[in-house]
Amino acid sequence: MSYTILNLTEATRSNNPQDGDFVQYTYDTGSVVKKHYYTPVESTDAQLQEIEILKARLWRNDELAGTDYIVPLTDHPDHTATLAYRIALIDWPTTSDFPDTKPTL
């Protein structure tokens, strides 16, 4: 998909907009989008790994919250398995498998 850019902040910078410039993208389909221009940011491998760790911790916290109700129900059919699963979830960030291999119930 091709487009042309018109810099609405400074017309002389249409080919080289600067961060914060308000630009208009006109696509070959005829659609028009107006928005502020920002230089794309490239993430480093370390930043991407940190994002994966945060996503894994959020998933783990959701899993723990989703099984909270079973803990006091000693007659629940999956009580023992759920407790073992919760221990695996709690210990998971300290294992060598974190965040690549999630614990399973």
Q: How far apart are the first and last CA of the chain?
A: 46
Number of domains in the chain: 2
Is residue 82 domain-resident? yes
Any domain includes 50: yes
What's the pLDDT at 41? 86
d(CA 63, CA 40): 34
pLDDT surpasses 80 at 1: no
Do 22 and 55 fall into the same domain?
Answer: no
pTM of the entire structure?
Answer: 0.62
User: In this predicted structure, what is the pLDDT of residue 102?
Assistant: 96
Rounded to whole angstroms, how far apart are CA atoms 95 and 99?
9
Same domain, 51 and 89: yes
Whole-angstrom distance, CA of residue 96 vs CA of residue 99: 8
Same domain, 31 and 49: no
- Match 């042309």 to its residue by tokens: 4
Question: Which domain, by its residues, includes 26?
Answer: 3-36
The string of pLDDT tens digits covering residues 4-60 is 999 999 999 888 999 999 999 999 999 999 999 998 888 899 999 999 999 999 999
pLDDT score recorded for residue 40: 84
Please indicate, yes or no, whether residues 26 and 51 belong to a single structural domain of this protein: no
